[in-house]
Amino acid sequence: MLTPFTEDRQIDWKGFDALVDWYVAGGSQGLFAACMSSEIFNLTAPERLAVVSRTLTRVQGRIPVIAAAAFPPDVSLQSAVSSPEAIAVAVQRVADTGVEAVILLTNQLAAAPEGDEVWRRAAEALLTRLDRHIRLGLYECPIPYKRVLSAELTAWAAKTGRFDFIKDTCCDLDLIKAKIAAMADSTLRFYNAQTATLMASLQAGGDGFSGVGATTLPHLYAWLCQNFTAEPELSNELQAFLTDSYFTLSTHYPHSTKTYLGLHGLPITPVSRMTGDQIKANDLATLHNFHANVKQWEQRLGLKSPFAQ
């Protein structure tokens, strides 16, 4: 999910409600609130909780909502790592909102140079401090550093029975396949953040997509995840388009995506706390051409645009 802002960079709750409805209309099977695209590291701790609560209120049970615990307020992004005790407090606060699962950032539990054993011990210490009824997930968040889980750590997480979700950012198909195999017969579900390997990960047993493209084209990604087996040739062609689209959307992200959504019907501004107003005339032309291609894909797939809801 994105977080819309007003011109003075306050959270735009009216635009936020419209955005939630748009995601649902676009066929999203769930919403990841308070994630990187939500600009969590540029939100205060109360704002992060407010974003999660508002998402739940607006969704009204139509689809599941998960949310990251992020970092406790006293932890700087430069150090990132916090104690299991502090992370447990942050997890409980998010869990109290009523989300389906609380997502742990994998870089919270060990510093970049530290190995898998250090990470696993910290994770085990954290689990002992959490109510077993709190369902959890894992996100290989790239900021301030990316901690990619090995297949062995993925197997450990699966065997605990405590985790239901992993947002994978490794971008390595061999590792993706090994991780999917490691979570077989468990509650853990695999969501790829990279479009280029999406279809291959689905064919290997992955469960879906959770990445930048879904903030902009939820209906196209939903179609691909639901139809890759029945229509493999069309799915391959669609994935190629979505992969090429990444460069259009990721330039100046999330400002670019907010601009695109605002141009075509959503009542949100392009304002971001992460980046300045960097869209130029040639960028706007690219976004308009991109939208023309999106409309062609909607026609080919028989999909109604979320903007038309």
Residues of the chain below pLDDT 50? 74
User: Comparing C-alpha atoms, which of 176, 159, 218, 226 is closest to residue 167?
Assistant: 176
SS3 content of the chain, % helix, strand, coil (to 5): 50, 10, 40
Residue 5: inside a domain = no
Residue 3: inside a domain = no
Instruction: Kindly report whether the global pTM for this prediction surpasses the value 0.85.
Output: yes
Q: What's the pLDDT score for residue 249?
A: 82
Q: What's the pLDDT score for residue 296?
A: 97
Residue 228: inside a domain = yes
Q: What's the pLDDT score for residue 251?
A: 80
Q: What's the pLDDT score for residue 144?
A: 86
Q: What's the pLDDT score for residue 79?
A: 57
Residue 165: inside a domain = yes
Residue 7: inside a domain = no
User: Comparing C-alpha atoms, which of 266, 209, 260, 272 is closest to residue 19?
Assistant: 266
For residues 249 and 18, the answer to whether their CB atoms sit within 8 Å is no
3-class DSSP state for residue 67?
A: strand
Q: What's the pLDDT score for residue 70?
A: 77
Q: What is the pLDDT of residues 217-230, one digit of tens each?
A: 999 999 999 999 99
Number of structural domains in the chain: 1
Phi, psi for 63 (deg, rounded to 5) = -145, 160
Q: What's the pLDDT score for residue 274?
A: 84
Residue 209: inside a domain = yes
Distance CA 242, CA 96 (A): 36
Residue 6: inside a domain = no
User: Residue 147's domain is classified under what CATH number?
Assistant: 3.20.20.70
Distance CA 155, CA 41 (A): 29
What is the domain extent for residue 106?
13-308
Q: What's the pLDDT score for residue 125?
A: 97
